[in-house]
Amino acid sequence: MTYEIVTKGLCAGYGKQKVVGDVSLSLPSGRIAVLAGPNGSGKTTLLKTIVGQLERLEGTVILGGRELAEFGGEELAKEASVVLTGRVRPELMKCFDVAAAGRYPHTGRFGKLGAEDRRQVERAMEQLHVLEYADRYFDTLSDGQKQRVLIARALCQQPKLLVMDEPMNYLDVRYQLDLLDLLRELAHGQGMTIMLSLHEIRLARKIADVALLVRKDHVVRFGPAEQVLSRGSLKELFSLDDKGYECYFHDGALPERKKDVKAAHIPAETNVQKNTSSVQNTARVLMVQGTMSGVGKSLLAAGLCRIFAADGFRAAPFKSQNMALNSYVTEDGLEIGRAQAMQALAAGQKPVADMNPVLLKPTGHTGSQVIVNGRVRGDMEAGEYFAFRQKLMPEIIEAFTRLAKDNDIIVVEGAGSPAELNLKEGDVVNMGLAQLIDAPVLLVGDIDRGGIFAQLLGTLELLEPEERRRVRGLIVNKFRGDPALFADGVRILEERSSLPVVGVVPFTELQLEDEDSLNPRFERRGRGRIDLAVVRFPRISNASDFDVFEQSPEVSVRYVRTPEELRGADMIFLPGSKNTLDDLRWFRESGLFAAVREKAEEGTPLWGICGGFQMLGESVEDPLAAEAGGTAKGLGLLPVVTTLEKEKAQTQREGVLPPVGGMFAALSQKAYKGYEIHMGRTRFSDGADGPLPVVVERRGNIFGTYLHGVFDAEGIAGAILEALAKRKGIRVDASLLPRDLAREREFDRLEACLRDNLPMDVIYRMMGMEPPQ
């Protein structure tokens, strides 16, 4: 079915007042045409005239081969429906009735709805996600909800031509994107012709097939969207200068009204050697970006930090935005990604919040808890965050500026890949950041996962020329075997990319905590003589609590997802969770809940930490819907109940453990150090009052604590392992290396490895520095 809209010499206006003149266009069916133009340029007038709402002053409109003038009222209504901007305020009208009004041209004299009519109305309401309001009075809805009902009304009219005047009005980001998607499906999938006016040009670019720029009195341009909505014509249409354009279309900073050159903008031409960056930056910078996540950026950055520190510089890590389930709590009680904390320690520095100003902790499939400058800003859906993150730019820059003031060298880590083309707009983590802080970039590929040439060369290929110029060298990471064997590969990479391969780094197994719980730690399956099982909650957090046990060669730490995997475990951990209620439900549904309780009742020791501790109790209540809301029953192994609250408690704690009963009595009076970070309050339910002890023990084998890192202090993990060995009737060497020492040793290994395989003098020169002697 083809359905074409043609106008010839169309003039639109009111009475004798001409608003838009001489519009001649032709729009094939199944296309989306966007009208753009400044306020008062006549977009609405033109749209209304095309659908016959307003009388034409001159010219013709032809819909599907017939002249507009030939259509009767209801005939036209079957062809075209509209969404207008005026307020609609029907008295005592339910949403269903408002939407169902769209069936007007399809119903009989008294407008009675048939089954088909109802189906159409419901379908349209469902498409706009307003079916749930069907039975509510229209005037009780919010503006955005009303707008969606009105769009549903237009859809159930089943038009061939849909005309919408500013349909995004009142819609939040998520529904805007949703509507774009729906419009695209209607046009490209079902052949509906759509004309809409949009102020959000950025959205227009995403869906428009053709575009019409309207300026006072005449149509400026009509043609393919990518041509018409180009930088030049938009700048002219809206009288924008470069800064204004950058600000709106590329997330540049808002140009100030008064002249002030300090405003952050992206330099058009960048020069890496000279520090032309717009951000006040007193330190030297080096950025490590990867071809994908998991290529080893974090460890490379840590090693570089270590090397710079060893060479006598104050070096600090920086990652503008980190997505990780695990967080580290700084001395100020602020949350940052564990990777940055680890890198700071490698550089011999105390981790501070400025090293990772934005931290996203996934809380569900699409949502994350957003932590800015170490403090929780709230939970956001991906779409919501996408819009929100643009506001974070100044905070990121401020954090970086503060960090740069106190340090000589900043090692910046990118996130994921810099060539995620759909996510580039508003990028604050990879090339966008590199340009802002004027950083030379090392691009890292992971040869162990294969496709190293595609990784490195493909990524370079996808970068814009000015971005590509930022890349100063390539690194091939995780090479197994003799790097010399890769000489041919290096030559090919260098020839094809015209960039130096600054290093081929061998695969190195390091016992360092890295970015998040998606790393291979969870895949380990081998059993030690003492076997520890950690229940692998989908939203597990602070999994590094158990790292200390892995330092003993006698111990295996396994992360289990199924009841079968629990078999043979000498001790079970319920770790922390980002979402206790969700994970508790998963716990129950996976069958592990019953299996863990059974093992605990047989006497297997069971530790619950933080979220896991809450689950050990009788119930977890969420009256304020901090998580999912409602109440969930726990394992009932400890006589405690937890009430979730909106406020997050986070504190560092140290002291001496109170007397601990049961099989780990040896822990009594041991010094501990750790931190608490949780959103609930837990109290005894069996009448025992007083504050909750650091470790709650019942039945001799059930232990709960809010304290992360409780096993790290000297002697604690060892005492636990000895007790476990005794129970099992075996002897093990429970002497563990002190945590810090072990870590330092690993850092040294990392430093040595990098020094052997990276030409540090080249890297120093990249940063515009003379290599130290």
Closest approach of other proteins to the CB of residue 204, in Å: 23
SS3 743: helix
Rounded Cα gap, residues 749 and 753, in angstroms:
6
Nearest to 516 by CA among 674, 343, 327: 327
* Residue 82 or 505 with smaller CB distance to other proteins: 82
Q: Is 610 tagged catalytic?
A: yes
Nearest to 672 by CA among 625, 725, 710: 710
SS3 573: strand
Phi (first) and psi of residue 632, to 5 degrees: -125, 140
Interface stretch with other proteins, choices 133-141, 356-364, 463-471, 478-486 (CB under 8 A): 133-141
For other proteins, the binding residue among 10, 61, 68, 77 (CB under 8 A) is 77
Interface stretch with other proteins, choices 93-101, 219-227, 496-504, 679-687 (CB under 8 A): 93-101
Question: Is residue 278 close enough to count as binding other proteins by CB under 8 A?
Answer: no
Closest approach of other proteins to the CB of residue 55, in Å: 12
Other beta carbons within 10 angstroms of residue 428's beta carbon come to 20
Interface stretch with other proteins, choices 134-142, 336-344, 382-390, 489-497 (CB under 8 A): 134-142
Question: Is residue 131 close enough to count as binding other proteins by CB under 8 A?
Answer: yes
For other proteins, the binding residue among 84, 164, 339, 346 (CB under 8 A) is 84
**R_g of the chain, CA atoms, integer Å:** 32
* Residue 118 or 174 with smaller CB distance to other proteins: 118
* Residue 131 or 441 with smaller CB distance to other proteins: 131
CA distances from residue 757 to 304, 444, 471 in whole angstroms, order as listed: 12, 14, 19
* Residue 77 or 229 with smaller CB distance to other proteins: 77
Closest approach of other proteins to the CB of residue 146, in Å: 11
Question: Is residue 520 close enough to count as binding other proteins by CB under 8 A?
Answer: no
Interface stretch with other proteins, choices 81-89, 306-314, 450-458, 675-683 (CB under 8 A): 81-89
SS3 6: strand
Among the options 106, 156, 678, 708, which is catalytic? Answer: 708
Contact of 422 with 467, CB cutoff 8 Å: no
Q: Is 305 tagged catalytic?
A: no
Q: Within 101-130, which residues bind other proteins (CB under 8 A)?
A: 101-102, 104-105, 107, 109-111, 115, 118-119, 122, 126
For other proteins, the binding residue among 25, 80, 229, 447 (CB under 8 A) is 80
Question: Is residue 93 close enough to count as binding other proteins by CB under 8 A?
Answer: yes
* Residue 16 or 257 with smaller CB distance to other proteins: 16
For other proteins, the binding residue among 82, 207, 285, 419 (CB under 8 A) is 82
Closest approach of other proteins to the CB of residue 123, in Å: 9
* Residue 158 or 270 with smaller CB distance to other proteins: 158
Question: Is residue 97 close enough to count as binding other proteins by CB under 8 A?
Answer: yes
Question: Is residue 723 close enough to count as binding other proteins by CB under 8 A?
Answer: no
Between helix 487-497 and helix 452-462 the angle, nearest 10°, is 10
* Residue 93 or 628 with smaller CB distance to other proteins: 93
Question: Is residue 195 close enough to count as binding other proteins by CB under 8 A?
Answer: no
Rounded Cα gap, residues 400 and 429, in angstroms:
12
Rounded Cα gap, residues 439 and 750, in angstroms:
24
Task: Supply 542's token pair.
Answer: 């602070």
Strands in 471-623 per DSSP E: 471-479, 501-506, 530-535, 540-541, 555-560, 571-574, 576-577, 606-609, 619-622
Question: Is residue 50 close enough to count as binding other proteins by CB under 8 A?
Answer: no
Closest approach of other proteins to the CB of residue 29, in Å: 20
* Residue 164 or 566 with smaller CB distance to other proteins: 164
Rounded Cα gap, residues 678 and 643, in angstroms:
11
Closest approach of other proteins to the CB of residue 149, in Å: 11
Among the options 95, 156, 610, 678, which is catalytic? Answer: 610
# residues near other proteins by CB under 8 A: 45
Give just the sign of the alpha carbon dihedral 167, 181, 459, 319: positive
Nearest to 225 by CA among 35, 26, 425, 29: 35
Three-class HEC string of 461-480: HHCCHHHHHHEEEEEEEEEC
* Residue 40 or 111 with smaller CB distance to other proteins: 111
Strand partners, 360: 323, 370
701 CB contacts (<8 Å, ≥6 apart)? Answer: 600, 603, 604, 605, 606, 662, 663
Element (H, E) at 7: strand 5-14
Other beta carbons within 10 angstroms of residue 537's beta carbon come to 29
* Residue 139 or 756 with smaller CB distance to other proteins: 139
Rounded Cα gap, residues 745 and 373, in angstroms:
31
> Cα 165 to chain center, whole Å?
32
Question: Is residue 91 close enough to count as binding other proteins by CB under 8 A?
Answer: yes
For other proteins, the binding residue among 90, 189, 224, 700 (CB under 8 A) is 90
Interface stretch with other proteins, choices 49-57, 178-186, 256-264, 547-555 (CB under 8 A): 49-57
Q: What would the x/- binding string for other proteins be over residues 152 to 181, using CB under 8 A?
A: -x---x------------------------
Question: Is residue 15 close enough to count as binding other proteins by CB under 8 A?
Answer: no
Write the single-letter amino acid at 6: V
Question: Which residues have a catalytic role annotated?
Answer: 610, 708
**For binding to other proteins (CB under 8 A), which residues are involved?**
48, 51-53, 72-78, 80-82, 84, 86, 88-94, 96-98, 101-102, 104-105, 107, 109-111, 115, 118-119, 122, 126, 131, 134-135, 139, 153, 157
